Amino acid sequence: MRILLHRADGKTEPWIKDFTKFLPEAEFEIWHAGEPSQPCDYAVVWSPPEAMLPELAQVKAIFNTGAGVDALLRFGDAIPREVPIIRLNDAGMAVQMAEYVTYSVLRYFRRFDEYENQARAGLWAPLPQHNRGDFAIGVLGMGVLGKRVLEALAPFGFPLRGWSRTEKAMPGVQCYHGSEGLDTFLRGSRVLVCMLPLTPDTSNLVDRTNMCKLPAGAFVINVARGAHIAEPDLLALIKSGHIAAATLDVFRNEPLPAQHPFWQEPRITITPHISALTLRRESVQQIAEKIRKLEKGEPVADIVDRNQGY
């Protein structure tokens, strides 16, 4: 068995080392631009370049070392539909995402962001607390990661709301779905958490029109993809005060350019795409188990539905 391996960061050796523990029979071909590759059975990739498409079209399956698959789906049918694209299911990312979002929510609820600014100014001034019952958390996207975030927030007693493309149910969560449910979901969400997959339907979903439906003084947290948010709209609504603040982990261009206006807006908290890092050992173990199933002709979970985009 031969596996074609590509990492956008070039750090392939640690992945090979872990694969030798969980799939010792595998041999590896490291993809390099301009160099011919030997035929491979499977590909394990993250953010592959377009030049890699001829090799990707020839494998039995492509494993994406992350939850989001937009970097592969952008190639369309250049990757034949008979070649399944398989994403990671959690692999340690869900708990990290829950930590990040829970911290961000509590930071706004307890007004720690404002206290941080006061402390830098040498100001001692207790602020009125937010009303918990009025601090509804709305999570856009109720997949594995979105549900884990809602579970993590449940013990704090906030009203919880979730929106998904199709109808879903979750205990303790007021659920909405489809375009007909989006308006009601937004109008009642004091904190909007974006955890959607990036598809043509969700690109720019968080734009001026939809953000204006949020209650005045709402907060935005984005841990999905930068293209979900219309950046100029968010900046304008923060300056107007309709959006009180935002915590952003993802951006249209990464690293975020030094001249980007987000850097100069103190009410925007920026982190460098670290809300849920891929845990290599857990990911390799999951991929190895799925490869073994495929070799036996058994079905595997988490095959991407290309029509839905995730």
Query: Containing H/E element for 246?
Result: strand 243-248
Cα separation values, 233 from 147, 171, 182, 206, Å = 28, 34, 19, 9
Concerning whether 130 is annotated as a catalytic residue, the answer is no
Kindly tell me the sign of the dihedral angle through the C-alpha atoms of 164, 167, 170, 175.
positive
- 35 is written with which tokens? 């160099």
CA 33 to chain centre: 28
Question: Catalytic pick from 6, 161, 225, 228?
Answer: 225
- 17 is written with which tokens? 């080392």
Q: Which pairing describes strands 243-248 and 218-222: parallel, antiparallel, or unpaired?
A: parallel
Concerning whether 225 is annotated as a catalytic residue, the answer is yes
For helices 112-120 and 93-109, angle between their N-to-C axes, nearest 10 degrees: 60
Q: String of b and e for 152-183 (b: at least 16 CB within 10 Å)?
A: bbeeeebbbbbbbbeebebeebebbbeeeebe
Query: Containing H/E element for 183?
Result: helix 178-187
Question: Catalytic pick from 2, 273, 281, 306?
Answer: 273
Residues catalogued as catalytic: 225, 273
